[in-house]
Structure 1
Amino acid sequence: MSKLYQGQCLCGGIKFEVDEIRPRMAHCHCTMCRKFHGAAFSTFGEAKVEHFRWLSGMALIRTFQAKNGTKRQFCDTCGSSLRFIPSNDTGEYVEFSLSLLDDDIPHRSDAHIYTKFRASWYEITDGLPVFSEGRK
C-alpha cells in the first residue's frame, strides 16, 4: 500500500505530491549538486512519473541546463531546488529534492556518490557505501 506524500518549495508557490518513492536514494557530492543545493551534498528521491504530480505553481518552475546536458529545476520566486533531470532521461522517472517533502518517509539514503568531488570541509562518517563516481 502506498502513502501520499506532499511537498512544496520554500515560498509555497510550487506544490507536488508523490504516492510511491523508490527506496534507492544516494547523497550526491558532485560539484553541480553541491552548488545547486548550497550544501555539502544533495539527496534526491526518485519516483516513476505516474506516481508524481505537480499540484500548483508550474509556471514558477525554471530550468537550468548544464554543459553536460543535465537539467536542474528550481522555483523562480524562492530558488528552491526542485528536480534533477539526467542528460539521458527516458521520462520514466522523476528525481526530486527530498528536502521539499512535508512528511517523513520510510526510506533512508543508501550510499554516497561522486565523492571524488566532495567538499573538503565535509567528512563522510555514516558508514554508507561510498562511490568515487556513480554506482557500479
Structure 2
Amino acid sequence: MTDHYGSCLCGTVSFQVKGDFDSFYLCHCRHCQKDTGSSHAANLFSHSAKLVWQSGSEAVVSFTLPGTRHNKSFCKLCGSALPNTQVAGLLVVPAGCLDSQITMLPTAHIFSSGKAVWDERLEEVPKFEGLPTWTAIK
C-alpha cells in the first residue's frame, strides 16, 4: 500500500491518499475539456483508498453538473482541481494535484470520440524545458 500527498496551487488545501489507485483514465469528454480547459482530464480512481484532508478542507467546494454524473471538487481560493468522493465508494483524484510521484501509466483514454482535433500528433510539436522566447514560438 502506498500513500500519496497533494495540494492546491495556493497551498491552502493539502491532503493524503492512503492506499493504491485502481485505474488512471485520460478522459476526452466535452465535460472534462470544459472543466480543465484542456484536451482531457487525467484522473486516478480507487475503490479502496482513503482520503484524509490535512489542511484547508473548508476551502474545498464541489460542483455536480445538473442532470449528469460529472462532478468536480476544487479550491475556492485558487480554483485548483482536488480529489472528490461525490460518487459513493469511489475516490477520484486529479493526477495534477498530487505532489508525490505517480509511477502508474494511464490505463486508457476514454471518450476518445470527443478528442480535440489539436490533440492529435502532439509528439511532433516542439518541446522546451521552460517558457520559450517569443522568437522561438513564431
Partner residue, 2:18: 19
TM-score by length of 2: 0.78
Gaps of 5+ in 1: 127-136
Which one-letter code corresponds to 1:59 in the other structure? Answer: E
In structure 2, what is the Cα distance between the partners aligned to 1:124 and 1:46?
Answer: 27
In structure 2, what is the Cα distance between the partners aligned to 1:34 and 1:16?
Answer: 25
What per-residue deviation string (whole Å, max 9, x for no partner) do you get for residues 22-53 of structure 1? 24111000111111111111111123365221
TM-score by length of 1: 0.79
Q: Give 1:19 shift.
A: 2.4
Partner residue, 2:110: 113
Gaps of 5+ in 2: 124-138
Q: After alignment, is 117-126 or 63-72 more displaced?
A: 117-126
Q: Where do residues 17-96 of structure 1 align in structure 2 (5 Å cutoff)?
A: 17-48=16-47, 51-67=50-66, 68-83=68-83, 89=87, 91-96=88-93
What do you get for the CA RMSD once the two structures are aligned? 2.1
Could you say if the C-alpha distance between residues 123 and 84 of structure 1 is closer, same or farther in structure 2, counting changes exceeding 3 Å? farther
8 Å CA contact 1:23, 1:108 repeated in 2: no
SS of the residue 2:21 aligns to: coil
Q: Percent identity?
A: 26
In structure 1, what is the Cα distance between the partners aligned to 2:33 and 2:121?
Answer: 15
8 Å CA contact 2:15, 2:55 repeated in 1: yes
Could you say if the C-alpha distance between residues 52 and 118 of structure 1 is closer, same or farther in structure 2, counting changes exceeding 3 Å? same
Which one-letter code corresponds to 1:63 in the other structure? Answer: S
What per-residue deviation string (whole Å, max 9, x for no partner) do you get for residues 78-116 of structure 1? 101114566xx2x21210111111111221102100111
8 Å CA contact 1:36, 1:81 repeated in 2: no
* Structure possessing the higher radius of gyration over alpha carbons: 2
Stretches (4+) displaced over 2 A: 47-51, 83-86
Which one-letter code corresponds to 2:45 in the other structure? Answer: E
